[in-house]
Structure 1
Amino acid sequence: MDNSAFTLLRQPNVIFGPGKVRLLPDLIAGYGRNVLVVTGVSTLEQSGVLGKLFEQLHSRSLQYGHLTVSREPHPELVDRAVSRYRESGIDVVVAIGGGSVIDAGKSVSAMLLKSDSIERYIEGLDGCIQHDGRKVPFIALPTTSGTGSEATNNAVISKVGVDGYKRSLRHPEFVPEIALVDPELMLGAPAGLTAASGMDAGTQLIEAFVSPGSCRFTDVVAWSGLEHFNRSFLRACTDGAGDIEVRSAMAYAALMSGIALANAGLGIVHGFASSVGGYCDIAHGVLCATLLASATKENILQLRQTGDNPEALTKYAAIGRLFSGCENLSQDGACDALVDTLLSWQEQLDFPRLSSYGLRSSDLESIASRTRSKNNAVELHRDQYMSILRARL
């Protein structure tokens, strides 16, 4: 595959490092006097970060509204928020939280200048139209090392149920103006959330690296992220949870995953994020965590059987050598080592099975029929989809 030609989305102005959250009030003031702050329900408030921010905004005579997000954003949440704040003269939207919070803030910033529902612009829905990209400026501050949404041009919107969906509001202009990444904000994240969000970042790095849409730029970005992920993921979930260097490495890995995926695309695990995630109420990071090993195993099997995309096998092998620490493995041995490593993380960190979220064998056919992934390393079909899902039921 010739990956010498490529185009790139614009990237946010990235401000990265411990303690950088102190810059936020001045960054907000650079856009105007009226800010909408989007957060989760309680963590920032309990840590004192939110109260301190509001005090700083008040001391600068800045006006602010506050929107809380308790789950992955759904159309009604965005439409209600936009209806409430559309006439408030919001100059900038700031989202401080995990991927769901950032996606909610990104969606609100995109819809404040519109008079209709967000569902009109969500890709793949009947009758959808392309958003024109006009929005209120947006600043993203992640508090988990997961989605990389601080660097992407889309916001994921979910509606859960038999006819549900998980799809994107997308436009090149939706890349945040500023990504302020402060690893200190991630120090309090619990182990379960750290593991799930971390596996989201790891999945994105792997899928972008082996994607047919990858290029020299995304390969370098994804590999750099994989190196940081490899040395920090397990420690962040265990004895290194309070180590700022570990959290910094994971924050960097997540940021790189966002840049890589925005430009290279993602594979089958994120295809399931749409079909499974629309069918049952499972957190995106948990879905990535529980499906990555079985999906990677199936991809490698199909690549070996078909002979398609040999570069992807070479890349899987490179990741296998990195994760296993065994540089002298053959290609087959390294690919097997990658699957073994992913399976060991799955067992060590006790990732939940799909059945614990109510999925049954009888649901798999319907889910497989809705699953698509245009940037997977190898073309998969219904039988392969069913195999991946059954392995984690």
Structure 2
Amino acid sequence: MSSEQNLDFSILPLPRIHFGAGKLSCLPSSVSAYGRTLLLVTGRSTLRRSEAASGLLEEFHRSGIEVELLEVAGEPSPELIDHAVELGRKRPFDAVAAIGGGSVLDAGKAISGMLLQHHSVERFIEGRPGVLLHDGRKVPFIAVPTTSGTGSEVTNNSVISRVGPGGFKRSLRHPAFVPDVAIIDPELMVSLPREVTVSTGMDAFTQLLEAYLSPFASAYTDALCCSGLEHFARSFEAASGDGAASVAVRADMAYAALMSGIALANAGLGIVHGFASSVGGLFDIPHGTLCATLLAEATRENIRQLQAKGEPSVGLSKFANAARILTGKSFSSEAEACEQLVAKLEAWQEQFAFPRLGEFGMSEEDFEEIIATTRSKSNAAPLDAAAMRRILAARV
């Protein structure tokens, strides 16, 4: 790989991070550092599904913390956030905590950021008409992920969506929205169903690969991405199969997701996440599923574009290095490594039966609208409309 690395970079703040088995026990004391009243945001089955989390409310009671429980379902919409904020304003809260998957964490993050504001959340969402600049005031926020995917526990944005005609999937964003505390406990993840493990894992992997290949990557984000890729490669298939109940395997996946979150916040993401924004507003496709089904073809197209330049490329070197990390093999040439990277992604596509976009109602008639609203300034290579159409057409 090329020795050239960008050493000119800035880093967003990080939360106080507690990582490891049993670290959920840090939550009551983390809340107590801010006060005695907590708004706890969870998924509908979060506290019931996890043995580690099931006794949490009793532990809060023993610690003298008053808890208001708010259960949310699905990806957060402006209406969900506004409703939750209205409920949350009925009493002052010293802190907000979210325990759940990426959508639950995004909901908690947005609620934390809106409790001290006086407009609908939609007025602050990027790319919406009449957008307002958020002043960064929020209620302290603690993130506790129960999946290994989005890395929302360390990012400064909350993804808000409205699905359907005229829909959107965009971010509420401010540097102050980085969680104050992140507690990553792999014991919370051992009960994840296989399909959730696969889709969230592919989201984390896509974020690692796209941040690694971003033109805004640096030596700092490269180190995070390579470390995350190594842990992902070691445990993805195990987590999706016979090793699902292993805390060590789940720790690898949680670590990969954590690294992906820090990397994307500082380097950006590529075309797959560009499509996630434009497609996600039109069709009800789980985010990780969309990443999984598009990644092989997007990687093929990016490699094709870089090779067409006919000159040495840091991007091609990075794709080749990612292939070595994923497969654990050495290759005779950069071209062979890139070819084997695509082959590995296609093998996962078959092994885990990633659904096609057509199964969610997309057709070629939708491509023009999707392409017109897709942005990917952090992609590995510039892609024109024809290139984006090829990626979509291969998976419709």
Range into which the TM-score falls when normalised by the shorter chain? over 0.9
Q: Which residue of 2 aligns with 1:52?
A: 55
- Structure 2 residue matching 1:279: 3-state secondary structure: coil
Note the 1:116-155 alignment, pairs <5 A: 116-155=119-158
The alignment status of 1:264 with 2:258, answered yes or no, reads no
Aligned partners of 2:209 and 2:49: how far apart in 1? 35
How far 1:369 moved relative to its partner?
1.2
- Structure 2 residue matching 1:238: 3-state secondary structure: coil
Aligned partners of 1:4 and 1:168: how far apart in 2? 28
Residue identity in the other structure for 1:33: R
Checking the alignment, whether the CA contact within 8 Å between 1:225 and 1:252 is kept in structure 2 is yes
Match of 2:172 among 166, 169, 172: 169
TM-score, structure 1 normalization: 0.98
Note the 1:294-305 alignment, pairs <5 A: 294-305=297-308
Q: Which residue of 1 aligns with 2:233?
A: 230
- Structure 2 residue matching 1:66: 3-state secondary structure: strand
Q: Which residue of 2 aligns with 1:23?
A: 26
Match of 1:286 among 286, 289, 297: 289
Q: Which residue of 2 aligns with 1:106?
A: 109
| 1:270-318 residue CA offsets vs partner (Å, 9 max, x unmatched) | 0001011111001111110111101001010111113588101100010
The alignment status of 1:350 with 2:353, answered yes or no, reads yes
Checking the alignment, whether the CA contact within 8 Å between 1:14 and 1:180 is kept in structure 2 is yes
Residue identity in the other structure for 1:62: I
- Structure 2 residue matching 1:82: 3-state secondary structure: helix
Unaligned runs of 5+ in 1: none
Note the 1:360-371 alignment, pairs <5 A: 360-371=363-374
Aligned partners of 2:311 and 2:33: how far apart in 1? 51
Match of 2:204 among 196, 201, 204: 201
How far 1:328 moved relative to its partner?
3.1
RMSD in angstroms over aligned alpha carbons? 1.2
Q: Which residue of 1 aligns with 2:65?
A: 62
Aligned partners of 1:214 and 1:325: how far apart in 2? 23
How far 1:322 moved relative to its partner?
1.7
| 1:109-150 residue CA offsets vs partner (Å, 9 max, x unmatched) | 000000110011001111112211110000001100000000
1:125–1:309 Cα change, 3 Å: farther
Checking the alignment, whether the CA contact within 8 Å between 1:140 and 1:150 is kept in structure 2 is yes
The alignment status of 1:248 with 2:248, answered yes or no, reads no
Residue identity in the other structure for 1:223: C
Answer with 324-333 or 93-102: which moved more: 324-333
How far 1:362 moved relative to its partner?
1.0
Unaligned runs of 5+ in 2: none
Q: Which residue of 2 aligns with 1:212?
A: 215
Answer with 50-59 or 292-301: which moved more: 50-59
The alignment status of 1:96 with 2:99, answered yes or no, reads yes
Checking the alignment, whether the CA contact within 8 Å between 1:282 and 1:357 is kept in structure 2 is yes
Match of 1:85 among 60, 80, 88: 88
Percent of aligned pairs sharing the same letter? 55
Aligned partners of 1:221 and 1:355: how far apart in 2? 35
Residue identity in the other structure for 1:312: G
The alignment status of 1:74 with 2:87, answered yes or no, reads no
Q: Which residue of 2 aligns with 1:34?
A: 37
Checking the alignment, whether the CA contact within 8 Å between 2:5 and 2:219 is kept in structure 1 is no
The alignment status of 1:325 with 2:313, answered yes or no, reads no
| Shift >6 Å, 4+ stretches | none
Aligned partners of 1:238 and 1:188: how far apart in 2? 12
